Chain A
Amino acid sequence: MEQSTSNEQATPPKNAVASTSAALQEPRFIRYSLTFIALAFLAFFIVLPLVSIFITAFQKGAAVYFAAITHADALSAIKLTLIVVTIAVPLNAIFGVMAAWALTKFNFKGKNLLLTLVDLPFAVSPVIAGLVFILLFGAQGLFGDWLFANDIKIVFALPGIVLATIFVTLPFVARELIPLMQAQGTSEEEASISLGANGFKTFWYVTLPNIKWGLFYGLILCNARAIGEFGAVSVVSGHIRGMTNTMPLHIEILYNEYQFSAAFAVASLMSVIAILTLIIKDIVAWKSKSV
């Protein structure tokens, strides 16, 4: 299969891809116009915003830039974001593997319902995702009195931010793994078990190597969203400077105080992470195709 496709690619002349035989080619004018429209659209919506972040960040010079990103509040925001991500992402990764295992290796009643539930957070506004945790753990919330009596803070503190982040990024890993494991079926696992391997060894030696790139891909997406989540975290954080501000919230405060260069400096850090995410994603996609 693989050999035949590479042969096909090798035979036609360099500028002819599968779909560009004469009959299948649009007139040159159409081709150029469509390409122009697509590139112009991407320039206005993607490239310019990205470029403007870095230019605005350095507008007042490198000194202002470095002052902004080394400010105590900025550093504590970075630290908080890292803590939140290191808790939320692994939890959702474990969940994603478990959910994908249950949903792809077995048949049971209510499978589609569970699949919908796993997807549900994608359909919920981030603001509502934050609101639900206020209703559960806020002062007037379901567990509010009990939490107050026991002096446990969830909302307007780290646990609330983690919970909101978990909610918003919950489907990412599962969504990546489910179609992959569906396509791979169960025969390799059955083969492994008929050869005498136990469940853990089957997962470790057979399933995991088959899904590792998909898992990594899901992790990358989950991580990017967890770092950048704004709406949900904004609701539950309480915006306590130096305490419960994540990086996106810190950017908001700086921006609202008209410290544009500082806001864009922190934003540029996050943009670098986003670009790295895209690069890693591309590599992973390419790797998983070639394996």
Chain B
Amino acid sequence: MNSLTLKKKPAHIIPGFHLSLGYTMLYVSLLVLLPLAMIFIHTMTLSWSEFTSIVSNPRAVASYKLSFGTALAAGLLNVLFGTIIAWVLVRYHFPFKRIIDGLVDLPFALPTAVAGIALTSLYAPNGWIGRIFDFKIAFTPLGIIIALTFIGLPFVVRTVQPVLQNISAEIEEASASLGATRLQTFIKVIFPELLPAILTGFSLAFARALGEYGSVVFIAGNMPMKTEITPLIIMTKLEQYDYAGATSIAVVMLVTSFVLLFTINLIQWLANRRFVH
């Protein structure tokens, strides 16, 4: 009995706290934190002026604009079409719906390189789709947008779909019974409910698109100043063993995506708060 009373009080009744937390921290520290810290440590070997001259090099700046612009465009396309697809999948009936629903996840499952070569051969000037249009799609920023839209599509559909499913018919009926038209009901009742999910989907798709490499390199054409995305600049510098250059650009990318994610989380938090109160 005495030996039992001497034991330290258990802080948690469910066991495994120290083991699981310790393991998680160790794993994350060794495999995420330490490696990412290397980016910042390595940049320290450069002077400030060296760093700024690398990251503000015209070719780099052109790539930021391209990466940011195409990711934004793809994100917006995904919001528009992703919401429509989610709507159609939840509300309407048509043949093979279940298979089509399953196919929406293809961009998650298909290797990016495979998607890249498939999209390139389709949208190339002599490809099945490319030949329909009399302007170039592949090897232009338009091609990059196509690849990024492919990659980001499931994010919006899969965040909007469950929310749409959970909107009860009653609130729509209430809106209709109060005299609203279908369009008014959508704009005033349904859309505000979907907005947080759309924002989440957009932010996920946008963040993914900013850093995407595999599906883009094939379709982009990779012309400096024109169709060269930022991850590709890092890749090129690495192939030239210019580690300092690669790391400096990586710092810009990392900081940008962290700031963006933080901002989007903040917006979401504000949007959610509005609905809670």
Contacts and interface: CB of A to CB of B under 8 A. Distances in A.
B231 A124 contact: no
Interface stretch (A62-70, A134-142, A146-154): A134-142
A170 B28 CA distance: 9
Interface in A112-132: 114, 117-118, 120-129, 131-132
Interface residues of A, number: 103
Contacts of A99: 20, 24, 27-28
A136 B13 contact: no
B122 A278 contact: no
A127 B128 contact: no
B55 interface: no
Interface in A238-257: 247-249, 251-252, 255
Contacts of A24: 169, 172-173, 176, 182
B73 interface: no
Contacts of B23: 95, 98, 102
Given A128-B250, A131-B250, A278-B105, A34 B31 contact: no
Contacts of B24: 95, 98-99, 102-103, 114, 118
Given A140-B243, A255-B117, A248 B17 contact: no
A190 B14 CA distance: 7
B16 A271 contact: no
A19 B28 CA distance: 45
A260 interface: yes
B169 A37 contact: no
B61 interface: no
Interface string A86-97: 000000000100
Contact of B103 (A20, A230, A278): A278
Nearest to A128: B250
A157 interface: no
B210 A163 contact: no
A28 B13 CA distance: 59
B272 to A, nearest CB: 15
A124 B257 contact: yes
B168 to A, nearest CB: 8
Contacts of B114: 53, 228, 248, 251, 267, 270-271, 274
A23 B121 contact: no
Interface in B62-118: 81, 84-85, 87-89, 91-94, 98, 100, 102-115, 117-118
Interface string B150-174: 1001000000000000000100110
A15 B94 CA distance: 11
B156 to A, nearest CB: 12
A195 interface: no
A106 B247 contact: no
A281 B102 CA distance: 9
B187 interface: no
Contacts of B89: 38
A213 interface: no
Contacts of B250: 125, 127-128, 131
A166 interface: yes
A186 B14 contact: yes
Interface stretch (B1-9, B34-42, B46-54, B192-200): B34-42
B169 A50 contact: no
A227 B111 contact: yes
A186 B19 CA distance: 17
B144 interface: no
Kindly name the residue among A101, A125, A140 whose own CB sees the greatest number of chain B CB atoms within 10 A. A125
B253 interface: yes
B25 interface: yes
Contacts of B31: 163, 166-167, 170
Nearest to B185: A24
Given A248-B112, A255-B117, A128 B253 contact: yes
B129 to A, nearest CB: 7
A42 interface: yes
Given A136-B38, A140-B243, A231-B112, A255 B218 contact: yes
A167 B172 contact: no
A153 B100 CA distance: 45
Given A52-B121, A117-B33, 8 more contacts: A34-B84, A105-B14, A105-B17, A123-B257, A142-B38, A221-B108, A230-B111, A271-B114
24 contacts: A21-B173, A23-B173, A23-B177, A38-B88, A45-B146, A45-B149, A52-B128, A53-B114, A98-B27, A101-B20, A122-B207, A123-B207, A124-B36, A124-B257, A126-B213, A193-B13, A199-B14, A228-B214, A231-B212, A231-B214, A234-B214, A251-B111, A252-B113, A267-B111
Q: What 5 A-B pairs are tightest by C-beta distance, nearest first?
A: A228-B111, A125-B211, A199-B15, A230-B214, A231-B213
Interface of B: 12-17, 19-21, 23-25, 27-28, 31-36, 38-39, 41-42, 81, 84-85, 87-89, 91-94, 98, 100, 102-115, 117-119, 121-122, 128-129, 146, 149-150, 153, 169, 172-173, 176-177, 182, 207-208, 210-214, 218, 230-232, 234-235, 238, 241, 243, 246-247, 250, 253-254, 257-258, 261
